[in-house]
């Protein structure tokens, strides 16, 4: 059985044999914890590890053929979460501080993978704020668009840019945003406007708020707002079609629990 991990010092380990004592400790804490942060496809639990509050994310075990792809050829979601977090922080964007990741494979298959990061205190998701108020106040919307445009200007494309994956905290003079569920980031030297609008198409804002959002984004990015509107409308249609097809496929081929 092959294990891969990044320990607290950031050193990457790939070896045959037993898992490290640190990772064994994290596994024990995860199993014992009843502080569930999120459940569903992946399970997130809060633990106290080496004197700090952390979140351990246990990724769903992939089915065939993804289990072999991750086991032999591609980086696991846990490893990508760890390396993407480091890169985001290097670029000046917030995400819960990465602590480490570990995974293990058997006979070429990925059997399990875990990502560990710091627990974010005193934050809310943009999803919670939006659905509580049924809107976003102007200052928050503008701050969020400035943040989104800054991400895109640095070539950061979060391919699951939905309200649940954006954490918000109030700071003096505005708001601070932090990205989570970051294994699905793609990095660009220069992000095309089409891709930027594709990312924003996952935001379920009403027409009036969306128009205001796009106007502010276009002003910040110095691009034509009508071009943004056209690209966003096209992306919304594609996104809706994608999810319709995905639901149909899941009815035909339900995922194993």
Structure confidence by residue, pLDDT tens digits, 1-47: 455 666 655 555 555 556 678 888 889 999 999 999 999 999 999 99
Tokens of 125: 């998701």
pLDDT of residue 14: 54
In the chain, the DSSP E strands lie at 2-6, 12-16, 36-38, 43-49, 52-58, 98-106, 109-118, 124-125, 156-158, 166-171, 174-179, 185-187
- Whole-prediction pTM: 0.89
pLDDT level of residue 241 (50, 70, 90 thresholds): confident
Residue 206 vs residues 142, 143, 212: alpha-carbon distances, Å: 16, 18, 10
b/e 55-66 (16+ beta carbons within 10 angstroms → b): bbbbbeebeeee
How much is the average pLDDT of 87-113?
Answer: 92
Taking 80 as the threshold, does the pLDDT of residue 114 lie above it?
A: yes
Q: What are the structure tokens assigned to 160, written together?
A: 């699951």
Q: Give the residues across from 181 on adjacent strands.
A: none
What fold characterizes domain 2-118?
Phosphorylase Kinase; domain 1 (3.30.200)
Strand partners, 12: 6
- CB burial class (10 A; 0-12, 13-18, 19+) of residue 198? buried
What is the reported pLDDT for 255?
64
Which residue is associated with the tokens 């990457």?
12
In the chain, where are the structural domains located?
2-118, 124-249
Cα three-residue angle 172-175-177, rounded to 5 degrees: 135
**Percent helix, percent strand, percent coil in the chain, to nearest 5:** 45, 25, 30
162: pLDDT strictly greater than 60: yes
Burial of residue 172 (CB within 10 Å: 0-12, 13-18, 19+) is: exposed
CA angle 117, 118, 120 (to 5 degrees): 125
CATH architecture of 124-249: Orthogonal Bundle (1.10)
Output the CA angle 31-35-37, nearest 5 degrees. 105
What pLDDT score does 248 carry?
Answer: 84
């Amino acid at each position: 059985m092959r294990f891969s991990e990044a320990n607290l010092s950031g050193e990457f380990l790939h070896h045959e044999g037993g898992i490290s004592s640190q990772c064994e400790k994290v596994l024990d804490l995860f199993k014992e914890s009843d502080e569930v942060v999120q459940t569903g496809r992946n399970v997130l639990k809060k633990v106290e590890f080496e004197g700090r509050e952390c979140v351990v994310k246990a990724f769903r075990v992939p089915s065939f053929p993804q289990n072999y792809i991750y086991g032999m050829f591609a980086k696991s979601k846990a490893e990508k979460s760890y390396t993407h977090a480091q890169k985001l922080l290097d670029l000046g964007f917030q995400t819960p501080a990465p602590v480490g990741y570990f995974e293990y494979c058997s006979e070429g298959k990925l059997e399990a993978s875990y990502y560990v990061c710091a627990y974010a205190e005193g934050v809310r998701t943009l999803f919670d704020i939006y659905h509580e108020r049924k809107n976003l106040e102007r200052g928050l919307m503008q701050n969020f668009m400035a943040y989104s445009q800054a991400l895109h200007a640095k070539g950061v494309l979060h391919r699951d840019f939905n309200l649940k994956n954006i954490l918000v905290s109030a700071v003096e003079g505005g708001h601070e945003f932090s990205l989570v569920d970051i294994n699905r980031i793609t990095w660009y030297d220069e992000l095309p406007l089409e891709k930027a609008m594709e990312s924003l198409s996952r935001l379920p804002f009403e027409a009036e708020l969306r128009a205001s959002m796009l106007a502010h984004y276009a002003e910040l990015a110095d691009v034509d707002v009508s071009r943004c509107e056209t690209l966003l409308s096209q992306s919304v249609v594609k996104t809706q079609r994608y999810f319709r097809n995905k639901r149909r496929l899941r009815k035909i081929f339900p995922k194993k629990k």
